[in-house]
Amino acid sequence: MRKFFCSLGLALLSLPSFAQDIFLNEYNYTVPDIARRGITKEQIFNGLERNFIKLGDSICSNRALIWAFDMKRHWGVDSAKIFLFYTEKRGEVSDKTWWYHVAPLVNENGTLWVVDAGFPRFVPRPLLPQQWLKKFAASENCKELKAGDDDLVAQIFDRQQFPSRTRHGEYDCYYRIASAPYWTPSAIARNFLGRERNGAPVDFVRERINTGELMQACMEASTTAFGGLFVNKRRKCQGYLGLE
């Protein structure tokens, strides 16, 4: 079985592909080729939950975690995620208040595809990462966050847009490809830097989706801010997730 090791640059993500697994070395995580199992990216995209999850009222990281869980239990697919971090640049599908966006990735024939089912009017099909970045950030001039970029990753803790100009160059957006169990940007930062925002050291690793985080994501994503008592939210999510 062939494996492709990455950090993945945008140019590499757009190359012609052939059947192979993709290994995220920094996470010790394999994104298997769904084509080997007779599954297509379109099947997964079309099968992502859009009714239980309140698309217009949910946070992207909550949707992405639920979808990652669903892909694993329904299709046996280990997915990945792409986290986009904004500068002042905005795309067709974005809001001036956003400082990040995240969506799942699947591997088909050795190429990663974004399956972002949260915007049916604007994203009707799977997209290549560079297409997704162009749609959400209006640019492909995006820097991948990788080893040595501690100063950039630390800015995630501030929950604000990134600067377009740094010692690394001038970019319109930044991104990080991670394994599916990482829920939020702060989880990415804590794992990457090995510390909390206050500088306290932490060994933060997510080898599988954390049940407590999944339940919290579900309760937030399946009910509007004005809907349902806490106990009803929990029961509703326990039933949906099969965690009763």
CATH of the domain at 135: 3.10.620
Considering only CA atoms, which of 185, 94, 81, 85 is closest in space to residue 136?
94
> Per the domain annotation, does 243 fall within a domain?
no
What is the reported pLDDT for 95? 87
Which H or E run contains 166? Answer: strand 165-166
Considering only CA atoms, which of 131, 129, 160, 159 is closest in space to residue 144?
129
Q: How many domains does the chain have?
A: 1
> Per the domain annotation, does 222 fall within a domain?
no
> Per the domain annotation, does 228 fall within a domain?
no
Evaluate if residue 207 carries a pLDDT over 90: yes
Evaluate if residue 8 carries a pLDDT over 80: no
| Region 182-193 average pLDDT | 98
What is the reported pLDDT for 96? 86
Evaluate if residue 32 carries a pLDDT over 60: yes
> Per the domain annotation, does 230 fall within a domain?
no
Considering only CA atoms, which of 178, 180, 239 is closest in space to residue 209?
180
175 touches 146 (CB < 8 A)? no
> Per the domain annotation, does 129 fall within a domain?
yes
Cα–Cα distance for residue pair 69/75, rounded to 1 Å = 10
> Per the domain annotation, does 20 fall within a domain?
yes
| Region 137-143 average pLDDT | 96
pLDDT-derived band at 65, boundaries 50, 70, 90: very high
Q: At what angle do helices 60-70 and 211-221 cross, to 10 degrees?
A: 120
144 touches 9 (CB < 8 A)? yes
pLDDT-derived band at 11, boundaries 50, 70, 90: very low
Which H or E run contains 24? Answer: strand 21-24
Within 10 angstroms of residue 156's Cβ, the number of other Cβ atoms is 26
> Per the domain annotation, does 229 fall within a domain?
no
pLDDT-derived band at 105, boundaries 50, 70, 90: very high
> Per the domain annotation, does 131 fall within a domain?
yes
36's tokens: 């080997």
Q: What is the mean pLDDT of the chain?
A: 91
Q: What is the pLDDT of residues 218-232, one digit of tens each?
A: 999 997 654 455 678
Which domain, by its residues, includes 51? 3-206
